[in-house]
Structure 1
Amino acid sequence: MVTMSEDFDTFVNNLQEQIFDEAREAFGDAGFERWRNPRYCGPLADADAHARVTGECGDTMEIFLKFENDRVCNAAYRTDGCASSTVCGSFAAEMTVGKTPEEVADISGEAILEKIGRFPDEDHHCAFLAAETIREALGQYMRNQTPHGNK
């Protein structure tokens, strides 16, 4: 005899597999893995730069950058957004590590999407939010590097 608890467990397991299958289809293997195991998740307490940007969709992204010898040595992100924001924030933070400020400035929404691979068209704005947040953090870092009084 199958108990109600066993029926429920089977239902939940099947539902979880369906969600995972749909997420893998939407994000591709790399994006799915990053959604399941985000990397560079913040905050970063000793960051040299931090920015917080809220996108038109209402998601907020934060990027934290730590520099050493004029290169990003550590980065992190935080978002209150959806799975797509999580995936984009994680890849965006990763893409800054080891880069000079000039190289970080070249990280675009398109570059983030290319790094992820497959990504839902309706969520492309998440990559552009992550790129904008990187630019804001980099701008803060660069302003802090300029001695006050010099223009």
Structure 2
Amino acid sequence: MGDLDFWQKHSLSFLEMALQADKRERLSPASGYGHAQGTCGDTVEIFIQVQGDFIRNASFETNGCLYTIACANTVVHWVEGRSLQDARNLEPVSVFDYLETLPQEEFHCAEMAVDALRMALARISRIAAPPTSGH
């Protein structure tokens, strides 16, 4: 009966993001890479490919639980096709709200996924900066 409870207590949005695996991969080459580790020991890695000022492709890897997977998947699905500025504005509460049934005590999973995204975005800025040359 416990398995049935799981399916009934979670929203379709949560179930899709927790179980969909099409974005769970390491993009190569990645324009930006970020990682974050939670106090629970879970790790999230975010990979993004940028074209101009837009995120063309995004993916993730994690060693985390189903809640971490759902949050990381939500982040990469949300940012793909959006501007870098829109991606910078993503907040953990937006991930939490989208998933609808993420338990409050797992909110740190949304924070971890957004932290990994922010690190990837910060690294893009450094990569995209024009090289300085004395010539």
Equivalent residue number for residue 6 of structure 2: 22
3-state SS in 1 of match to 2:56: strand
Equivalent residue number for residue 112 of structure 2: 129
TM-score (norm 2): 0.89
Structure 2 vs 1, CA of residues 123 and 148 (structure 1 numbering), >3 Å: closer, same or farther?
A: same
Q: Which amino acid aligns with 1:106?
A: N
Q: Which amino acid aligns with 2:81?
A: G
The answer on whether the counterparts of 1:38 and 1:86 sit within 8 Å (CA) in structure 2 is: no
66, 73, 85: which is aligned to 1:102?
Answer: 85
3-state SS in 1 of match to 2:59: strand
Distance, in Å, in 1 between the alignment partners of 2:105 and 2:60 is 22
Residue-by-residue CA offset, 1:73-99 (whole Å, 9 max, x unaligned): 100011001000000010011111111
Residue-by-residue CA offset, 1:60-116 (whole Å, 9 max, x unaligned): 000000011320010001100100000001001111111111111001101111221
Structure 2 vs 1, CA of residues 106 and 20 (structure 1 numbering), >3 Å: closer, same or farther?
A: farther
After superposition, where does 1:52-71 map in structure 2 within 5 Å? 52-71=35-54
* Matched length: 133
Residue-by-residue CA offset, 1:87-146 (whole Å, 9 max, x unaligned): 001001111111111111001101111221221111110000000110000000011111
Q: Which stretch of the first structure deviates more once superposed, 123-132 or 107-116?
A: 107-116
After superposition, where does 1:1-151 map in structure 2 within 5 Å? 18-25=2-9, 27-149=10-132
Structure 2 vs 1, CA of residues 39 and 116 (structure 1 numbering), >3 Å: closer, same or farther?
A: farther
3-state SS in 1 of match to 2:41: coil
Structure 2 vs 1, CA of residues 20 and 93 (structure 1 numbering), >3 Å: closer, same or farther?
A: farther
Q: State the structure with more CA Rg.
A: 1
Distance, in Å, in 1 between the alignment partners of 2:4 and 2:94 is 25
Q: Which amino acid aligns with 2:119?
A: E
Q: Which stretch of the first structure deviates more once superposed, 42-51 or 124-133?
A: 42-51
Distance, in Å, in 2 between the alignment partners of 1:75 and 1:131 is 13
Q: Could you tell me the percent identity over the aligned residues?
A: 23
TM-score (norm 1): 0.81
Q: Which runs of 5+ in 1 are unaligned?
A: 1-13
Distance, in Å, in 1 between the alignment partners of 2:131 and 2:121 is 17
Q: Which amino acid aligns with 1:128?
A: E
Q: Which runs of 5+ in 2 are unaligned?
A: none
Structure 2 vs 1, CA of residues 24 and 146 (structure 1 numbering), >3 Å: closer, same or farther?
A: farther
